[in-house]
């Protein structure tokens, strides 16, 4: 049974919001207006789907009456055929409604901070960090998101020990959140002369960008150290104390940034990542509490879980959470990952429905 009272209350709320969003004075508060418009859009989809459901129900009743009262066999057969079609449409619309009734995670609309770090595998793992960085960058281009590099630590052969970047755009965190976990690669490394296949691993963490209102950080909880940059970076490297390391003492979280020549810019970037890490810590605690009550198929909280394998000899990529496999690895690494992203999102929503 669908919660008809709740759906009708959504209609009333939608009509009230319809008047509210037309008020020009609301536009002066951009953040509040954006939040209001997003809720308006969500309600609009739900109310529209509910109206379709009620309309199909009405058509089904009319088709049943026609079938019962009609004496012409041809008309009865047509009514039965229409009834079968309408019944199928009603079932689909009900599933869509149940999906829309699942509360959206308010973090989904946030920008995403992506941390990609080399794990086991040495230089080969660092090279795969570069592959994943490019893959996410291509995907961001497809989505029309803006990319900002927060931190990079390069290696000698063109790889990275770690890359931290921010993706700004609609639903960036909501779509990227399922990339969190261990990405395993199987291929012959460029450093391997005997042609043996090696297995390496890269860890990915996806954090929602934290607003000032999300996390309150006391200055007394922070230890800020400055030091001279190291590695590639031009003339300013090793000449000024521009690199910044911020430690959140209560949790032990550490963030470093040395990409900018300005100490202030490095500190601002590092604080942005620190805020997001602390917000992610709170989200992870909530997810672990939920996970203790049930075993989730699609994990977004356990960063130690092996989520995907990229097998180069077979041109195969497999997501182990939903048993989805593609044999077009080149296309996948070129950013065409939306099939996997949407399938993971749907599996996660299905879990919520079953709850």
At 220, is the pLDDT very low, low, confident or very high (cuts 50, 70, 90)? confident
At 296, is the pLDDT very low, low, confident or very high (cuts 50, 70, 90)? very low
What does the alpha-carbon distance between residue 175 and residue 57 come to, in Å, rounded to a whole number?
A: 34
> Does residue 35 or residue 123 have the better pLDDT?
123
Task: Break the chain into its structural domains and give their ranges.
Answer: 4-100, 106-354
> Does residue 243 or residue 28 have the better pLDDT?
243
- Give the three-state DSSP class for 23: coil
Are residues 119 and 201 in contact, defined by beta-carbon separation less than 8 angstroms? Answer: yes
Of the candidate CATH numbers 3.30.70.1660, 2.60.40.1930, 3.20.20.80, 3.30.70.980, the domain formed by 106-354 belongs to 3.30.70.1660
The model's pLDDT over 232-250, given as tens digits with 9 standing for 90+, comes to 544 444 456 788 888 988 8
The model's pLDDT over 306-352, given as tens digits with 9 standing for 90+, comes to 899 999 999 999 999 999 999 999 999 999 999 999 999 888 877 77
- Token code pair at residue 325: 């496999």
107 closest CA partner among 218, 214, 29: 214
The DSSP call for residue 3 is -
Are residues 215 and 275 in contact, defined by beta-carbon separation less than 8 angstroms? Answer: yes
Question: What are the C-alpha distances in Å from 342 to residues 176, 215, 291?
Answer: 10, 29, 22
Are residues 90 and 56 in contact, defined by beta-carbon separation less than 8 angstroms? Answer: yes
């Amino acid at each position: 049974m669908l919660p008809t009272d709740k759906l009708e209350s959504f209609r009333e709320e939608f009509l009230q919001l319809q008047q509210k969003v037309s008020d020009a004075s609301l536009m002066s508060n951009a953040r509040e207006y954006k939040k209001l418009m997003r809720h308006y859009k969500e309600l609009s989809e739900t109310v529209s789907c509910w109206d379709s459901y009620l309309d199909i129900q009405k058509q089904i009743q009319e088709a049943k009456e026609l079938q019962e009262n009609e004496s012409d066999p041809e008309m009865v057969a047509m009514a039965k055929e229409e009834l079968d079609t309408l019944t199928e449409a009603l079932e689909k619309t009900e599933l869509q409604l149940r999906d829309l009734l699942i509360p959206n995670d308010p973090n989904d609309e946030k920008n995403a901070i992506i941390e990609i770090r080399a794990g086991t595998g040495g230089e080969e793992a660092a090279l795969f960090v570069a592959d994943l960085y490019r893959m996410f960058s291509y995907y961001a281009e497809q989505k029309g998101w803006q990319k900002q590099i927060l931190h990079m630590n390069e290696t000698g052969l063109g790889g990275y020990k770690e890359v931290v970047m921010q993706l700004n755009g609609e639903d960036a965190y909501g779509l990227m959140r399922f990339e969190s976990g261990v990405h395993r690669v199987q291929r012959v490394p460029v450093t391997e002369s005997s042609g043996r296949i090696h297995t390496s691993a890269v860890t990915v963490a996806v954090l929602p960008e934290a607003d000032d209102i999300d996390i309150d950080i006391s200055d007394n909880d922070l230890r800020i150290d400055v030091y001279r940059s190291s590695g590639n970076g031009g003339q300013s490297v090793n000449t000024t104390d521009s690199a910044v390391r911020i430690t959140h003492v209560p949790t032990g979280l550490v963030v470093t940034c040395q990409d900018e020549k300005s100490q202030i810019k490095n500190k601002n970037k590092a604080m942005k990542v620190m805020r997001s890490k602390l917000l992610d810590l709170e989200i992870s605690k909530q997810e672990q509490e939920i996970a203790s009550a049930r075993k989730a198929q699609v994990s977004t909280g356990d960063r130690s879980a092996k989520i995907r394998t990229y097998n180069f000899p077979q041109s195969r990529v497999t997501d182990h959470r939903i048993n989805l496999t593609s044999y077009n690895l080149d296309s996948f690494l070129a950013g065409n990952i939306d099939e996997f992203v949407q399938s993971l999102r749907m599996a996660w929503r299905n879990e919520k429905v079953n709850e």
